Amino acid sequence: MEKLIPFNRKILFYIAYISLSCLITVLLNIVHTVFILEIDFTAISFTFPLIAGFIFGTMLAHIKILSKKLGQLAYTDSLTKIYNRLHFAHFLDAEIDKVKRYGGRFSIIFFDLDHFKDVNDRYGHLVGDGVLEEVTEIVSKANRSADIFARYGGEEFIILTPETGIEGAMTHAERLRKDIEKHSFTNAGHVTSSFGVAEFDPEKDDLESLLDRADKALYIAKEDGRNRVEQA
């Protein structure tokens, strides 16, 4: 989990908090000693608050980093570092509300990797994890900046495509299918994927029905031979 916060940024956090804490404690001690207690300021009266500031700053920086880690863990997938299923649902809820209130359109693309269990059984789970990470990179590069990409669970992924109808979403899904198919995965060779695509219907859909329609389209893609894109 250390990759959640890069090492260099962690060092900067510590330096910043420790420096600020030392500065504040020393200044407060000078004010308290010289101007309030009216005692001569000595090296000892400077050293003790400096040490206290160092300890306090270190603790504060550590708490800040832990808090940031917990925040990231709440909405990202630990392996792929993209959004997790729970956080994706928040984006989907917000997009549904926006379209119902103000109009517009959007679609979702639901996909998973074909015969992924065979990859894990044949090469091991570490290789399987590597495949998931590489798929994440492939899809992330092809997605638009507005697209919301998440790991739905296991080898399943989902994409929210704002301001996109079924035709655009199908085109995008087909491109992703081809990109995954032609990619040579490290230690696993070639892997294919199947897609289910659905456009949100503000008159009939809610979150559950939209996901269900995309899931059924994905199931049809699996039943019809895999490595294909199906429309809900």
Active site residue ranges: 155
Cα–Cα dist 40/213, whole Å: 78
Residues with Cβ within 8 Å of residue 8, at least 6 apart in sequence: none
| Structure-block tokens of residue 56 | 């306090």
Residue 72 sits at φ, ψ, to 5 deg, of: -65, -40
Cα–Cα dist 97/3, whole Å: 34
* DSSP letter string, 164-179: --HHHHHHHHHHHHHH
Give helix then strand counts, H and E, for the chain: 7, 5
Cα–Cα dist 26/34, whole Å: 12
The sheet that has 148-153: what strands, in order across it? 148-153, 156-162, 106-113, 193-199, 229-231
**Contact between 133 and 80 (Cβ < 8 Å):** yes
- Helix 85-102 crosses helix 207-223 at what angle (to 10 degrees)? 120
Cα–Cα dist 106/75, whole Å: 22
